């Protein structure tokens, strides 16, 4: 779950901030010290976060992401025709809200998550249980998280961080079937939080 430290209300999403990183450490070790600030361009052209869902059962999938958040705080939401209140909407986050959102995603281990590691853990869990659950949900999530660096509390230098792209199959059901795999649960929480923004009460139709 998103922890309760440093909670900031950004519409219907409650987020917190805490994360650690060692100098030039691999992503798996990014949890030792608290991050004070996330570095990214405050530009309307910088795509900070992108979130999309692809459904295999649909004849065609809308290529426009559900959610796009830019460095200047603009949030664009595109609800395709198969969703309620379809259309294009927008709202604006302050720089503080962007920081809290980025830090909360980092806390949920978005930087250390790897599809390969999760697949290995799922396969091992299936071997241990002797069965594999059948999941009817054929959705696939695409998630982009694009920050340039982080500043560690108590340190002067900025630690470079690369862009992250995740493509995840059936993450919600997988979290229910494999509750002991923490990284799956973390990504399911991220997906749930981002989806909540798609129906935020702060959204207004794009003119």
Q: What is the pLDDT of residues 26-39, one digit of tens each?
A: 333 344 347 788 99
Question: What radius of gyration, in Å, describes the C-alpha atoms of the chain?
Answer: 17
180 and 63 in contact (C-beta within 8 Å)?
A: no
SS3 annotation, 14-60: EECCCCCCCCCCCHHHCCCCCEEEEECCCCCCCEEEEEEEEECCCCC
pLDDT at 206 over 90: yes
Residue 57: its pLDDT value, please?
A: 66
Q: Comparing 164 with 71, which gets the higher pLDDT?
A: 71
Residue 52 tokens, joined: 């999309």
pLDDT, tens digit, 9 for 90 and up, residues 100-137? 998 888 877 676 667 777 778 777 877 887 777 666 65
pTM for the full predicted model? 0.76
Residue 136: its pLDDT value, please?
A: 63
How far apart are the C-alpha atoms of 69 and 7, rounded to whole Å? 20
Residue 48: its pLDDT value, please?
A: 95
The separation between CA 30 and the C-alpha centre of its own chain, rounded to angstroms, equals: 16
């Amino acid at each position: 779950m998103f922890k309760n430290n440093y909670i900031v209300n950004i519409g219907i999403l409650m987020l917190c901030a805490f994360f650690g990183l060692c100098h030039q450490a691999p992503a798996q070790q990014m949890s030792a010290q608290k991050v004070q600030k996330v570095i990214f361009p405050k530009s309307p052209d910088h795509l900070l976060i992108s979130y999309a869902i692809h459904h295999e059962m649909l004849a065609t999938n809308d290529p426009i992401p559900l959610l796009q958040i830019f460095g200047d705080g603009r949030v664009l939401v595109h609800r395709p025709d198969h969703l309620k209140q379809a259309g294009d909407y927008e709202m604006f986050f302050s720089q503080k809200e962007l920081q809290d959102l980025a830090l909360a995603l980092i806390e949920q281990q978005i930087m250390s998550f790897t599809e390969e590691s999760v697949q290995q853990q799922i396969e091992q869990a299936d071997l241990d249980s002797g069965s594999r659950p059948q999941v009817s949900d054929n959705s696939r999530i695409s998630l982009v998280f694009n920050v340039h660096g982080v500043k560690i509390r108590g340190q002067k230098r900025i630690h470079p961080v690369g862009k992250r792209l995740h493509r995840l199959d059936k993450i919600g059901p997988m979290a229910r079937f494999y509750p002991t795999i923490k990284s799956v649960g973390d990504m399911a929480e991220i997906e749930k939080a981002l989806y909540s923004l798609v129906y935020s009460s702060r959204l207004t139709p794009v003119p």
